[in-house]
Copies of this chain bind each other. A is one copy, B any other.
Amino acid sequence: MKFQGVPNNYTPIILTARPALIPMPSPILEAIEQRRSIRNFTEQTVDSNTLYEIIQAGVWAPSGLNNQPWRFAIVTDAAIRARLAEQTTYGHIVLGAPALIGVYLDRQAMYDDLKDAQSAGACIQNMLLAAEALGLGAVWLGQILKNREKVGEILGLAANLELMAIIAIGHPSRRDQQSQRKPLAEFIVKEL
């Protein structure tokens, strides 16, 4: 055992300069740190190729046994977005986003509920990072899961598809979002 806990003098270099570890600033670490949930969008639409690119980034996530259980429903139609908006208390975001991607798991491809759900999260994180890399903003919507069956009806999806989240995507109307994380030491429970 070396020591317990993060030393008091540790400054997370991801938040500051990082010459010691990384010869050049890492755009990857910066992207991870600077990503924010974007909930307000301009009226500018998002073209299909851009949405495909975001999904392509999603499917480069790892999955257990490489089972690739993710499935996606793209919604840009305003009338369908309006119906989906009624299924969540965050309906104003669903209405205001020019594009939605429903992220599903295919029960026929799944092998482990927990690990496949984790893999859906990894897939979604790739999509959120990709959206920002493409100059867009996005937010991960989970509250709508309480009406997942109704969402499936609206989208006309097969029963083997289980809703994991809806990602709202668009051109950000502003980029001054702030977010907070606890100090790193509060997350690290053991060092052995």
A→B interface (CB under 8 Å): 1-2, 6, 10, 12-15, 18, 20-22, 26-29, 31-33, 35, 37, 48-50, 52-53, 55-57, 59-62, 64, 66, 68, 70-77, 80, 102, 104, 112, 114-115, 117-126, 128-130, 132-134, 140, 142, 145, 155-158, 161, 164-165, 179-182, 184, 187-192
Contacts and interface: CB of A to CB of B under 8 A. Distances in A.
A44 to B, nearest CB: 14
Given A49-B20, A49-B21, A57 B74 contact: no
A184 B59 contact: yes
Given A104-B189, A119-B121, A128-B62, A184 B55 contact: yes
B60 A35 contact: yes
Contacts of A156: 190
A16 B110 CA distance: 30
A112 to B, nearest CB: 8
A61 B62 CA distance: 16
B68 A182 contact: yes
A76 to B, nearest CB: 7
Nearest to A69: B187
A133 B57 CA distance: 17
A30 to B, nearest CB: 9
A12 B52 contact: yes
A29 B27 CA distance: 11
